[in-house]
Amino acid sequence: MDFRLYDLSVVISTHNRCDQLGGALDALLAQDPGVAYEVIVVDNNSTDATKRVVASRLGKSPNLTYVFEPRQGLPYARNTGVLTARAPIVAFTDDDVQVGPEWVSTIKRAFDEHPDIDMVGGRVRPVWPDRIPRWITRSQLGPFALGERGDAPIRVSAANAAPCLVGANFAFRREVFDRVGLFDTAYIKSQDREIQLRLWRAGGAGLYLPSLAIKVRVPPERLTRKYFRYWYTTYGIYHSRMGLLDAIDRDGRLVETQGRRVFGTPAFIFRQLLGSGLRWAAAMLRCDWVKAFYWENQFRYLFSYARDRYRVHTAGRPHSTLAEIGRFLNTHRAQRRRPAA
């Protein structure tokens, strides 16, 4: 395939959001004409009028392509978009996003000005419903997949792996997928984080660019305690499978191991789990329901992470919980007795 046909390919994955897709598409098709770009709509097994929404714009937009992906899940849709793309840069956004008229040109310029980076990501700002529950605070915005990291560019790599460039607003050099592979279809959630970990391990680098800004609609159904509990529990599982908490140390660096383990889980996670549980209980006793819900969700995330790691660690082999704890304590005592170098 000739990857020089366009400067940049935009992949927008969609599933049963025909009411929002039209506006997102119109904004993408009205970008700065100084960049040769294509827009690829990947219909991820929609059953609504998605195809008609795209078809109504095909005749007026020769740079628009429609692709149907029957396998349900965002990583399948994004991979289909990558394989369809005909440009050396592949950008991703979502069907509920509002991009400005210079979004494409900002991405292109970032790669031109920074030949050493492999990907770029930017701000994701919310468009809130009319009413926001009081318990939603700045410290608990994870379930909305927002990206706000200040006004200065940030280089992300193995040396600074803590920031996650959000999948609704990021782009890669096409060659990255040849180096580290496509999006992992085992990660229906958090596949954007997982591919970044692979890229940093391969020596790659990214750039958070505050001028690359989009807006995303926050649906009212996500403003519920039930959704928050589901999100923190689910992401605890997926982050466990990619070893996220194991892989990034307190200074934000990508590491191979982090200290002693029990049940295949770093011991510090159990300390954090206990701490969040105690803070949850303390906030409940004070009737501080906002803080209590925050610490409840931290507990749910860490418990889900540790439980999944325990399940993987003990799968397919006989085990003894007491023996595992005994081995951990013996290792801990031995390390404390070891003389300093």
Radius of gyration of the chain (CA): 22
Whether residues 260 and 200 share a domain: the answer is: no
pLDDT at position 1: 58
pLDDT at position 2: 62
pLDDT at position 317: 61
| Contact of 15 with 49, CB cutoff 8 Å | no
Characterize the bridge pairing of strands 8-14 and 37-43.
parallel
- 311-314 long-range contacts, CB within 8 A, separation 24+: 312/240, 312/241, 312/264, 313/263, 313/264, 313/265, 314/263
Instruction: With residue 94 as reference, give the H or E element that holds it.
Output: strand 89-94
Whether residues 113 and 146 share a domain: the answer is: yes
Whether residues 266 and 117 share a domain: the answer is: no
Residue 82 counted as domain residue: yes
pLDDT at position 331: 53
pLDDT at position 285: 98
Report the distance separating Cα 287 and Cα 99, nearest Å: 42
Whether residues 203 and 327 share a domain: the answer is: no
Which residue blocks in the chain are alpha helix, DSSP H? 18-28, 50-58, 74-84, 103-113, 175-180, 191-201, 225-242, 244-247, 267-285, 289-314, 321-337
Residue 118 counted as domain residue: yes
Of 187, 220, 253, which closes a domain? 220
Of 168, 194, 220, which closes a domain? 220
What are the CA-CA distances from residue 203 to residues 160, 233, 261 (Å)? 12, 31, 27
Whether residues 183 and 318 share a domain: the answer is: no
pLDDT at position 341: 44
Residue 226 counted as domain residue: no
Buried b vs exposed e over 301-331: b needs ≥16 C-beta within 10 Å? bbbbbbbbbbeeeeeeeeeeeeebeeebeee
Report the distance separating Cα 144 and Cα 142, nearest Å: 5
Residue 232 counted as domain residue: no
Residue 251 counted as domain residue: yes
| Contact of 294 with 140, CB cutoff 8 Å | yes
Whether residues 211 and 329 share a domain: the answer is: no
Whether residues 134 and 173 share a domain: the answer is: yes
Report the distance separating Cα 332 and Cα 341, nearest Å: 17
pLDDT, block means (10 residues), the chain with 341 residues = 82 97 96 94 97 95 97 97 98 95 98 98 93 90 87 95 94 98 95 96 97 94 96 95 89 81 85 97 97 97 94 71 51 52 44
**pLDDT tens, 75-112?**
999 999 999 999 999 999 999 999 999 999 999 999 99
Whether residues 44 and 149 share a domain: the answer is: yes
The domain that contains 127 carries what CATH number? 3.90.550.10
Which residue segment(s) compose the domain that 245 sits in? 237-337
Residue 43 counted as domain residue: yes
Among 310, 171, 161, 178, CA closest to 245? 161
Instruction: Name the amino acid, one letter, at 70.
Output: P
Whether residues 312 and 251 share a domain: the answer is: yes
Report the distance separating Cα 196 and Cα 262, nearest Å: 27
Whether residues 259 and 311 share a domain: the answer is: yes
Of 220, 245, 279, which closes a domain? 220
pLDDT at position 102: 96
Residue 17 counted as domain residue: yes
Residue 71: CB atoms within 10 A of its CB come to: 12
Number of domains in the chain: 2
Whether residues 270 and 209 share a domain: the answer is: no
pLDDT at position 328: 47
Whether residues 59 and 193 share a domain: the answer is: yes
| Contact of 39 with 10, CB cutoff 8 Å | yes
Residue 206 counted as domain residue: yes
